[in-house]
A and B are shown apart, each in its own frame.
Chain A
Amino acid sequence: MQAIFLFSTVLMAAYLVRHYIFTLTVLRRTKKTRSNPALDAKYKPEVSILIPARDEEHVIGRLLQRMTQLTYPHDKLQVITIDDASSDITGQIAEEFSKRYSFIEMLHRDKNTGGKGKASAMNAGLKRSTGEVVLCFDAHYYPQRDIVEKLVKEFIDPTVGAVQGRPVVLNEAQNIVTRLVTLERIGGYRVDQEARDNLGLIPQFGGTVGGFRRSILEELGGFDESALTEDTDLTFQIYLAGFKVRYVGDAECYEEAVDNWKAYWRQRHRWARGHMQVCLKHAPRVLRSKKLNAKKKIDGLLLLHVYFVPVLTLLALFAGVFLVISQASQFANILWLFVPVSFYSVVGNFAPFFEIGIGAYLDGRTRLQWLVPLLLFAYLYNILIWTKAFLDLFAAKVFRKSQGDWAKTRHLGNGKCYVEN
């Protein structure tokens, strides 16, 4: 029992120190100069934008309208809407746009070919795409007009395999769920991704508000359709192939966040299960890789195992309670003090409270940071989600069941009022 408690607290301490370093890094603003602005302006490769959409009638029009307002030269742009066996009028809306604008194309997938998940839809879009760089946006996102320029300029560096922009929650003011998701996003992108990029670690490609070099993805054989989180899978495939992912914090894209706890559960359960699945697939390869240096290996392994932390926290909690009550160990009381620190160190979808607080401060979100203590309740909810995902994955492995179905999040266009006003 002592060994379990010690092991889990040491690992939780490692995660805490990691995030503390991230926060300090962002505060010290050790941002590396990326590229030459004059060269950035000249570099205008052919770009394909993939928009996978399934039953997105409330939001697809908003995004396609935005596509027509992008400042990137339209003659170098190809927008492909992939209507993935929608049962609503998503396809019709996209069709209308493709008739009006020559650079917007439409790819219909019926019930036989489509509906097999985002990775499958993305692969279909990838086959149709012709651009040197492929960007992707989920249908409920709303990008800045100059986002393509901001993202694409990173590909001047031939070692860059993918880029990631910053999602900002659009419907933040809707309710407490959207506000807490906003805080999680701030911690994850404003501090975590930014720091990982600055420190030369492993920034994560998030599957939307980002893109990749088409040649690399073709070489890798496209997206893994069996992966529930194809984005995390791609991130590690890119790194294992010797390329890197860059995070571009000023390339903001506005998203409609989940607005109720049920949708939150479904989304996070898919993320957790998919991430654990990717961990089992890539952790040994990361460890053996000769293309990753020691610090990338450590960060990669910590990132891959991050969804196991709540399970670890539960173990520490049970072992700690037993040791404290039984007074079996003289170290237990001291180590027990550390457990709540660890709890608070992962409250914001693995970002500690201080990381989120600093992120909110840097964004000038004075009122929002007052809600940071409430993230503890979201974290307790997340422990249930992640433990369930862990048990589901374990059962799927033992009984050789399917790795899980695609849990589609419904979007109702709740962020519309902020876009239109």
Chain B
Amino acid sequence: MKFQSSRLVTGLFLEAITLCLIASFRFINIAATATLSIFNLLFLSLTIHLNGTLNKKLGILALGNIIGLFWNFVLQYFAVAGVAFFGESFNAFYAVSYPFLNFTWVVSFWSMSLAFLPKPKSTQAEVKP
């Protein structure tokens, strides 16, 4: 029973991730999907080797996707508001700064999320800073 519920949770997390990817493509733009994909690729390929259960890792990944999707929605509305206020020239500024603004959440979330995984056994140092 426990085994089945664990698989169900895994399925739910995977579904959430897939939905985020589809929503980013359908409702935002391909750049948002690309950013989410890079985040997923990095997270999956690197954190899979770390301590912690698969569901915990997938849960963090799903949360990251939701935050990324939300972040991209905010950015999109920021662009719409910017164009309405400053005119078409805002589009150029937005195109240039978009990838930089977009990656701030990737790096921040990625580095913070590692703290939620169980610590590895590290080598004992003589002097502990």
A residues near B (Cβ < 8 Å) are 23-24, 27-28, 142, 144-145, 168-173, 182, 250, 252, 254, 320-321, 324-325, 333, 336-337, 339-341, 343-344, 353-354, 357-358, 360-364, 366-367, 369-373, 376, 415, 418-419
Number of A-B contacts (CB under 8 A): 106
- Among candidates B45, B102, B111, residue contacting A357 with C-beta atoms closer than 8 Å: B111
Find out whether the CB atom of A340 lies under 8 angstroms from the CB atom of B103: yes
Query: What are the residues of chain B within 8 A of A320 when measuring CB–CB?
Result: 96
Query: What are the residues of chain A within 8 A of B110 when measuring CB–CB?
Result: 353-354, 357, 372
Find out whether the CB atom of B120 lies under 8 angstroms from the CB atom of A170: no
B34 an interface residue at 8 Å Cβ cutoff? yes
Selected interface stretch from B11-19, B75-83, B121-129: B121-129
Find out whether the CB atom of A354 lies under 8 angstroms from the CB atom of B103: no
Closest A residue to B109 by CB, please name it: A373
- The distance from the CB of A341 to the nearest CB of chain B, in whole angstroms, is 7
Given A27-B46, A337-B99, A366-B115, check contact A373 B108 (CB 8 Å): yes
Complexed CA–CA distance, A419 and B127 (Å): 7
B84 an interface residue at 8 Å Cβ cutoff? no
How many residues of chain B have a CB within 8 Å of chain A? 35
Find out whether the CB atom of B122 lies under 8 angstroms from the CB atom of A418: no
- Among candidates A171, A321, A336, residue contacting B129 with C-beta atoms closer than 8 Å: A171
Complexed CA–CA distance, A357 and B94 (Å): 29
Given A24-B45, A344-B103, check contact A337 B34 (CB 8 Å): yes
Find out whether the CB atom of A362 lies under 8 angstroms from the CB atom of B38: no
- The distance from the CB of B38 to the nearest CB of chain A, in whole angstroms, is 7
Query: What are the residues of chain A within 8 A of B107 when measuring CB–CB?
Result: 344, 353, 372-373, 376
Give the dominant DSSP class at A's interface. helix
Query: What are the residues of chain B within 8 A of A23 when measuring CB–CB?
Result: 46
Query: What are the residues of chain B within 8 A of A250 when measuring CB–CB?
Result: 123
Closest A residue to B101 by CB, please name it: A340
Write 25 A-B pairs (CB below 8 A) sorted by A numbering.
A24-B46, A145-B126, A168-B125, A170-B129, A254-B129, A321-B96, A333-B31, A333-B95, A336-B95, A336-B96, A337-B31, A337-B34, A340-B100, A340-B102, A341-B99, A341-B103, A353-B110, A354-B110, A358-B114, A361-B117, A364-B120, A367-B115, A370-B112, A415-B129, A418-B128
Complexed CA–CA distance, A366 and B125 (Å): 16
Find out whether the CB atom of A27 lies under 8 angstroms from the CB atom of B95: no
Complexed CA–CA distance, A370 and B103 (Å): 15
Complexed CA–CA distance, A169 and B128 (Å): 10
Closest B residue to A355 by CB, please name it: B46
Closest A residue to B115 by CB, please name it: A366
- The distance from the CB of A194 to the nearest CB of chain B, in whole angstroms, is 12
- The distance from the CB of A386 to the nearest CB of chain B, in whole angstroms, is 19
Closest B residue to A324 by CB, please name it: B95
Complexed CA–CA distance, A364 and B125 (Å): 12
Find out whether the CB atom of A418 lies under 8 angstroms from the CB atom of B50: no
Complexed CA–CA distance, A321 and B100 (Å): 12
Query: What are the residues of chain B within 8 A of A173 when measuring CB–CB?
Result: 129
Query: What are the residues of chain A within 8 A of B42 when measuring CB–CB?
Result: 354
Query: What are the residues of chain B within 8 A of A372 when measuring CB–CB?
Result: 107, 110-111
Find out whether the CB atom of A364 lies under 8 angstroms from the CB atom of B114: no
Closest A residue to B121 by CB, please name it: A364
Given A361-B114, A366-B115, A372-B107, check contact A341 B95 (CB 8 Å): no
